[in-house]
Structure 1
């Protein structure tokens, strides 16, 4: 994103590993007039909770008081929590855990879009990106398992496609994408890193740089797609 278009960036999930690295990188680069880092563990105007729409609306109202955001990244996700983790088999399905996975991985980002997309300019290039996962691709699924995570990320991918279609009617240069960051050394992936191939486990700083490079190179034709950290499309 270049020139006058670089007004304001918003990182939702800035208290997490990838989100924090994205915020730090954008601040260091100094390309935006304002960078809003929002997170569940942050206080005041920087607080946002994907399970509480009122907090999402309040965060959006705070951002709306300044320059219009031309970049919004939702860098959130849930894979395991407490005694709950990705299911290995059908017998492991738990309705409460499934609902929580959907709430954080799909519904939360959709509500962020509901409140933040209307803040973005109606003209010029804008990017709304949500972190998804390759395992959310139905056509790429060869192993099964991880039911809640796979299904909730697949739902997010569909929501991104819907949002891209709707946002194009408001701004024909708007880009709405889902991004797969790869396996990143964060709390989300830590219990599952043993089988990651050499050179394929990224630190958060590298992941942030790779994602921002992909965002920089996005074209309008990419809107509605799921792309990996190298900018390659992953079929839904």
Structure 2
């Protein structure tokens, strides 16, 4: 029997590509807002959808996220910062994955290797920040990195073979990034998904709590 994988945000650019890539080796369950009404920012929705599922899942991937929410683009300066924009970014990119971790922990196997991965972004790295700007998005991704790292410590006490990690997929050519690519090189979603699955296949419980890029290299906090 094939191992099972759960992809949250399965209709997005990277999420759909992850479903296609994981289908090669896993039995897939996908949830998304547009198809299933799965709202990662609403705990009732997260609980309702995840409580219907029975584990174990060898892979759980949170592939939700957005650069722009409600028309609020990434800030170029402090003058562009707004309370609502900051709250919206935290709700989707930090609180949402935290809610999934809370409700999906029971879906992980306790006695076999498994991976719980959250898509983060290199711009969430404080140590790597040399350009500034993008306050809300950077802060939300830094927050989700802390959430993942902290959850990994707790989950390791009951799931000895689990790797709970944050992943930077690289710059991927999707509607998510279309307005911001410019001349910046980007990879197709299928290539990004293959890279991410390769990283997930290679991590071990000894690396739980880590932040890795698409090539499996650690990203500074």
Residue aligning to 1:210: 195
Per the TM alignment, residue 115 of structure 1 is displaced from its structure 2 partner at its CA by 0.6
Residue aligning to 1:35: 28
SS of the residue aligned with 2:34? coil
Listed one character per residue, the Cα deviations across residues 71-105 of structure 1 (whole Å, up to 9, x for unaligned) are: 10000112113531000111111001100000000
From 171, 178, 199, give the equivalent of 2:159: 171
Residue aligning to 1:154: 142
Unaligned runs of 5+ in 1: none
Aligned partners of 1:36 and 1:63 also within 8 Å: no
Per the TM alignment, residue 222 of structure 1 is displaced from its structure 2 partner at its CA by 1.6
SS of the residue aligned with 2:216? coil
Residue aligning to 1:61: 51
From 4, 7, 16, give the equivalent of 1:20: 16
Superposed CA RMSD in Å reads 1.2
SS of the residue aligned with 2:220? coil
**Distance in 1, Cα, partners of 2:46 & 2:69:** 22
Residue aligning to 2:112: 124
**Distance in 1, Cα, partners of 2:206 & 2:76:** 37
**Distance in 2, Cα, partners of 1:234 & 1:153:** 13
**Distance in 2, Cα, partners of 1:62 & 1:82:** 30
> How many residue pairs are counted as aligned between the two chains?
221
Please say which of residues 80-89 and 128-137 is displaced more in the overlay. Answer: 80-89
Residue aligning to 2:41: 51
SS of the residue aligned with 1:37? strand
SS of the residue aligned with 1:63? coil
From 211, 215, 218, give the equivalent of 1:226: 211
Residue aligning to 1:11: 7
**Distance in 2, Cα, partners of 1:83 & 1:110:** 24
Q: For residues 103 and 82 of structure 1, do their structure 2 counterparts lie closer, same or farther at Cα, with a shift above 3 Å needed?
A: closer
Aligned partners of 2:69 and 2:88 also within 8 Å: no
TM-score (structure 1 length as normaliser): 0.90
TM-score (structure 2 length as normaliser): 0.96
Per the TM alignment, residue 130 of structure 1 is displaced from its structure 2 partner at its CA by 0.3
Residue aligning to 2:125: 137
**Distance in 2, Cα, partners of 1:103 & 1:166:** 22
From 171, 194, 197, give the equivalent of 1:183: 171
